Amino acid sequence: TSPRKMKRIKSDLLFQNANRVIPTGIYGHMAPGAGLPLDFPHFCSSGKGARFTDVDGNEWMDFMCGFGAVLHGYRHEAIEQAVQKQRELGSVFNQPHFLMVELAEKLVELIDFADWAVFAKNGSDLTTWAIRVAREKTGREYIIKSKGAYHGVDAWCDPGMGGRISSDREFVLEFEWNNLHQLESLLVNHSNQVAAVILTPYHHASFGPSELPSVGFWKNVEMLCKQHDAALVLDDVRCGWRLDDSGSHNYFGFCPDLAIYSKALGNGYAISACVGKDKFRTSAADVFLTGSCWNDAYAFSAALASLQISRENLVAKSVLEKGKYFCSKLEEVGQEYGIKLKMTGVPSMPYPWIEGDEDLYQIQGLCKFAAAEGLYFHPHHNWFISNALSYEDLDQALFIAKKALGKFVEQ
């Protein structure tokens, strides 16, 4: 049944109410204008496995996973049991819960280069903190990032303009992804001034196709950082545990100095972590980091359970295989209708790109017709494969997508 024929009364009414008490009603990457405002629901009510239900009772097969935060599926039984056990004991106290130590030990055990770990609530907290650690360690001011890369909402890297002043990015340099010559030139031209190079495992900007690293890219980045004594900071917030169960650096074969994780780490529970090499330990201790609710035992217990599930069930391998199956089949469906659809990036978190669709009109149309059939395909952001999706679910999604493509072509 088409969700657009179902009721949107509660969702639209809630949005009207939200606009009265919340600036723009819904903000950031979940704002209606960032997706399909007339086709996506404004508010959700529940989720289970690979599906969620909106406030009007419409069920959706989900290919966004809370923008990557949910890896094992909504309300995964083992994770919820671990959190429920902790709920009987409490969450936030005057001192950290002992689970913080257990989680730090687990991350140091899992991640080959990690000698220590710290925790916060989201990726922005720790990408910003990590570059401060690099500045403290090196005594330098400049940071290098890839042009168009998203590292959070802080002024040095946010995608918006509001409230920013010129000095916010005075010491932030950018190069085009995969352009090693540009990177090397920045390091040479700012010799002994660059504290860190911060990069995602591959380029996954919104509103455009994802770009994988070229052959030799990461080895050369690692070499250049060592030559210029700049910290190599990996923003693994979005990719973590979707490419490799021990960190995405292993998937691409390099070794960072610091790495930040969030999203799938807690399977929907708010937590982030930064791990690092021993040589950054003193600097990490010197850069202030705190939050009253950051030592959240519920999130610690969820993360511990999530990591165990990933390791025991080889979840990164699983979602990559499921994604490869789904992406190849979806591209074939596109070819049947003469649509040059390419699922870019890695298959566990692909970005759909249609050749020649620079204004995104075609992908918006495809996702609009998919939404009418209860498929949550986002037109402007990479998708995420939940391990809760079975191959039967993927076949069902492909059947629906073929129907949506047919309607799109016929319009």
139: left (phi over 0), alpha (psi -120 to 50) or beta: left
Average pLDDT, the chain: 96
How sure is the predictor about 401, in pLDDT bands with cuts at 50, 70 and 90?
Answer: very high
- pLDDT > 70 in the chain, percent: 99
Q: How many CB atoms lie within 10 A of CB 30?
A: 13
CA distances from 30 to 64, 65, 236 (A): 11, 13, 21
Q: What is the mean pLDDT of residues 183-197?
A: 98
383-393 pLDDT tens trace: 999 999 999 99
CA torsion sign for 30, 64, 49, 121 is negative
In this predicted structure, what is the pLDDT of residue 5?
Answer: 59
Contact 405, 83 (CB under 8 A): no
Q: pTM for this structure?
A: 0.96
pLDDT digits (tens, 9 = 90+) for 152-174: 999 999 988 799 999 999 999 99
Residue-wise pLDDT tens digits, 319-369: 999 999 999 999 999 999 999 999 999 999 999 999 999 999 999 999 999
Over residues 16-28, the mean pLDDT reads: 94
Region 307-327 average pLDDT: 98
Task: Place 6 in a pLDDT band, splitting at 50, 70 and 90.
Answer: low
Q: How confident is the model at residue 180 (pLDDT cuts 50, 70, 90)?
A: very high
241 within 8 A of 310, measured Cβ to Cβ: yes
CA R_g for the chain: 21
The three-class DSSP label of residue 316 is helix
pLDDT at 136 over 80: yes
